[in-house]
Amino acid sequence: MRHLVTFVLAALTLAVGARDARAQAEQQSLVDRATLSLQEVMDVGDMSADARSLLGRARAAMVCPRIFRAGFIIGGQGGDCVLVARDGGGSWSSPAFFTMGGGSIGFQAGVQDAQVVMLIMNDKALEAILEHHFKFGADAGVALGTLGRGISGSTTAAVGADIVTIARARGLFAGVSLDGNYLDSRREWNRAYFGNDVTARQVVVDMAAHNPGSDPLRAALMRISGTTVPSAPAAAAPQGSAVPREVITPAPGGSATPRVQSEALPSPPPSSR
């Protein structure tokens, strides 16, 4: 009987582990697609420099690999997104998971899917997304802007906007409009990806959770935004030698500007016993 109980417990453990692995694979697939979409969206031809400059100044970014829109009289659109934020040192967080959705009624027909990157330029806009069921165009305190051609739905120019949308779209609709769409956190996806119950704020602001699977996305954000990766610490001095000191010597050619160079001190004499 004891062996039977042990076998059953082992089987249950394996089943739970396999289920968690399958669940995490879905989130990891979204993170991987977000990494690819970020690189493709930020390569927007003659606007690439502007897009990268905006990312370099952004407080956070929302990447939606595919926002699908379809409609005939009654339309709707939606998709899954990841939110990342940057700390004061320039490091990007692991992603928190969100879903976007919305609907519209009118004379329309067509199908479209788009890759969307939303650059969240300040803490005010980030707080609006984190604190409540965020709806585009409904929060008068958050100014929206767009960068790109054939994109509609902005309330201001990209310059000075709190959230700037950059998108690449294919299909029959004339542009990508986010007005009326909402963003909601997917807490169950955060739990599956990080292995514990964490909120979007804990992931992107507190940086209290990390999954190594998101490292390629974080590296792409640093590279595209031009963030300087901290250099490796200097190698330690060989054993038995003193730490180099800095000495100031005159610059060659009689210039008044001094030159700083390193000079190793002699090794200390061996201690006598």
Domain limits, the chain: 22-225
pLDDT in tens, 24-63: 899 999 999 999 999 999 987 777 888 899 999 999 999 9
What does the alpha-carbon distance between residue 265 and residue 251 come to, in Å, rounded to a whole number? 22
- Given pLDDT bands bounded at 50, 70 and 90, which one contains residue 197? very high
What does the alpha-carbon distance between residue 166 and residue 44 come to, in Å, rounded to a whole number? 9
State the pTM of this model.
0.71
Question: What are the phi and psi torsion angles at 48 (to 5°)?
Answer: -60, -45
What mean pLDDT do residues 112-134 have?
90
40-44, 74-78, 226-230, 233-237: segment of lowest average pLDDT: 233-237
The predicted structure's pLDDT at residue 175: 61
What mean pLDDT do residues 171-195 have?
84
Residue 253 has pLDDT above 60, yes or no: no
Residue 140: which residues within 8 A CB-CB, separation 6 or more?
none
Residue 247 has pLDDT above 50, yes or no: no
- Given pLDDT bands bounded at 50, 70 and 90, which one contains residue 1? low
Residue indicated by tokens 């595919």: 66
What does the alpha-carbon distance between residue 103 and residue 117 come to, in Å, rounded to a whole number? 20
What does the alpha-carbon distance between residue 202 and residue 92 come to, in Å, rounded to a whole number? 13
What does the alpha-carbon distance between residue 185 and residue 201 come to, in Å, rounded to a whole number? 10
Residues 129, 118 contacting (CB under 8 angstroms): no
The predicted structure's pLDDT at residue 14: 44
Amino acid present at 232 = A
What mean pLDDT do residues 108-123 have?
85
Residue 155 has pLDDT above 90, yes or no: no
Residue indicated by tokens 């963003």: 183
77-91, 102-116, 117-131, 174-188: segment of lowest average pLDDT: 102-116
The predicted structure's pLDDT at residue 245: 37
134-148, 155-169, 179-193, 212-226: segment of lowest average pLDDT: 155-169
The predicted structure's pLDDT at residue 228: 56
DSSP string across the chain: -HHHHHHHHHHHHHHHHHHHHHHHHHHHHHHHHHHHHHHHHH--GGGHHHHHHHHHH-SEEEEEEEEEEEEEEEEEEEEEEEEEEB-TTSPBPPPEEEEEEEEEEEEEEEEEEEEEEEEE-SHHHHHHHHHS-EETTT-TTS-EEEESSS----SS-STT-SEEEEEEEEESSSS---TT-EEEE-HHHHHHHHSS---HHHHHTS-----GGGHHHHHHHHHHHTPPPPPPPPPPPPTTSPPPEEEEEEPGGG-SSEEEEEEPPPPPPPPP-
Most confident range (mean pLDDT) of 33-47, 144-158, 183-197 is 183-197
